[in-house]
Amino acid sequence: MENAFKLDLEKIKSQARAQMQKGAMTPSYGHDREAVIATLNEVLATEIVCTLRYRNNAQVAHGIHAESVAAEFKQHAAEEQEHADLVAQRIVQLGGEPNMDPKTLAARSHAEYTTSSNLRELLQENLVAERVAVATYSEIVRWLGDRDPTTRRLMETLLEKEEEHADELASLLDAP
């Protein structure tokens, strides 16, 4: 059985005990920890900016279909906030610090903060922001590969949701 699964369990056990202060981080972590934390902080900034944009846009949405659009924006805002919390939690697990500094938030975000008094423009700009997130998160998932499966799964969960958001916005834009 050339490909049998083998473990040096004694070594794993002694390392687990020797470096307890590292929490979930063990020597088997296969990625560049600092690089993953830095990337997750960009995702965190993106999620916070998206939360703020949707919260603003839910308030300023006026006109035909405005109520259904505002309700959708509110729901997206809540989901982006959830994403931000999940990403911050993972940064802490990796031994990093979640950067929520408002001074640099917009510059570090992949997506832009936008607002408008025009309902159609609001929908279009949110669709663009979601499409940016879909593209950048897809790249991050590929970059993580098998080297950090936990962070990859988290990013896949976010990616799935952003695709759903983009789809919902596209449907609202198509609505007569």
Instruction: List residues near Fe ion by CB under 5 A.
Output: 47, 80, 83, 130, 162, 165
> Toward Fe ion, which CB reaches closer, 29 or 173?
173
Q: How far is the CB of 124 from Fe ion (least distance, A)?
A: 15
Calculate the CA 33 to chain-centre distance.
17
Q: How far is the CB of 29 from Fe ion (least distance, A)?
A: 25
Q: How far is the CB of 140 from Fe ion (least distance, A)?
A: 13
Q: How far is the CB of 76 from Fe ion (least distance, A)?
A: 6
- Tell me the C-alpha distance between 40 and 36, whole Å: 6
- Tell me the C-alpha distance between 71 and 104, whole Å: 29
- Residue 9: burial class (beta carbons within 10 Å; 0-12, 13-18, 19+): exposed
> Toward Fe ion, which CB reaches closer, 51 or 119?
51
> Toward Fe ion, which CB reaches closer, 15 or 82?
82
Cα angle, residue 140 at apex, residues 139 and 144 outer, rounded to 5°: 120
> Toward Fe ion, which CB reaches closer, 90 or 165?
165
